[in-house]
């Protein structure tokens, strides 16, 4: 089993979308996808209504997800840790214990835009269109991840 973790700040907007999108593109016999936030703000919460809505618009149900916080043991559990932005990257790297841990952490948009270090913007304080933009970026990145892992 290959285990992949999607990480953002709150685990209610971006990473639940990334989690649902990638899960829908991979064979669950071989891949397990999950998500977490670096903060403790929304532990146990459903994804943001706007993330649920944009997922539903794209035929994806993410209401089976509940917020959880990234913990150091996640470096053992997961093979790949995709973060949404540079601040998530810093927060996760701060918890790394060795170079193997650090090597697992990648900016997710580097999958679709290699070496550009682009960020998935935090849509939390913006309008609904921010969620559409985030969905498109994540769908493209997850396509690249799924093609890579299945080749
Ligand atoms: P996310 O968005 O990191 O994509 O889940 C946020 C959600 C909540 C907060 C910040 C970002 N917050 O400050 O509560």
Q: Which residue is catalytic, options 74, 85, 122, 139?
A: 122
Helix, strand, coil percentages, rounded to 5, for the chain: 40, 15, 45
- Residue 148 confidence (pLDDT): 87
Which residue is listed with tokens 């498109």?
Answer: 136
Where does the pLDDT of residue 150 fall: very low under 50, low under 70, confident under 90, or very high at 90 and above? low
Dist CA 146 CA 151 (whole Å):
9
Q: Is 88 in the pocket of ligand 1 (CB under 6 A)?
A: no
Q: What is the pLDDT of residue 97?
A: 98
- Residue 60 Cα to ligand 1 midpoint, Å, equals 21
Using pLDDT thresholds of 50, 70 and 90, give the confidence band for residue 151.
very low
Nearest to 64 by CA among 24, 106, 30: 24
Q: Is the pTM of this model over 0.95?
A: yes
**Domains along the sequence of the chain with CATH:** 2-149 (3.40.50.2300)
pLDDT value of position 100: 98
Over residues 48-58, the pLDDT tens digits come to 999 999 999 99
Give the residue-averaged pLDDT of 73-92: 98
pLDDT digits (tens, 9 = 90+) for 15-31: 999 999 999 999 999 99
Q: What is the pLDDT of residues 30-47, one digit of tens each?
A: 999 999 999 999 999 999
Question: Mean pLDDT across the stretch 67-74?
Answer: 98
Q: Please give the Cα distance from 59 to 76 (Å, whole number).
A: 32
pLDDT at 103: 98
Give the other-Cβ count within 10 Å of 42's Cβ: 20
């Amino acid at each position: 089993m290959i285990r992949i973790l999607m990480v953002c700040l709150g685990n209610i907007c971006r990473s639940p979308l990334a989690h649902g999108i990638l899960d829908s593109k991979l064979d669950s016999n071989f891949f397990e996808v999950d998500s977490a936030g670096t903060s403790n703000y929304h532990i146990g919460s459903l994804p943001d209504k706007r993330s649920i809505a944009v997922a539903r618009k794209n035929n994806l149900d993410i209401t089976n997800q509940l917020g959880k916080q990234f913990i150091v043991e996640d470096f053992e559990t997961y093979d790949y840790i995709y973060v949404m932005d540079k601040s998530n990257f810093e927060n996760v790297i701060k918890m790394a214990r060795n170079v193997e841990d650090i090597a697992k952490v990648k900016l997710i948009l580097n999958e679709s835009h290699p070496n550009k270090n682009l960020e998935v913007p935090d849509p939390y304080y913006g309008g609904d269109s921010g969620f559409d933009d985030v969905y498109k970026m994540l769908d493209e990145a997850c396509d690249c991840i799924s093609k890579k892992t299945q080749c």
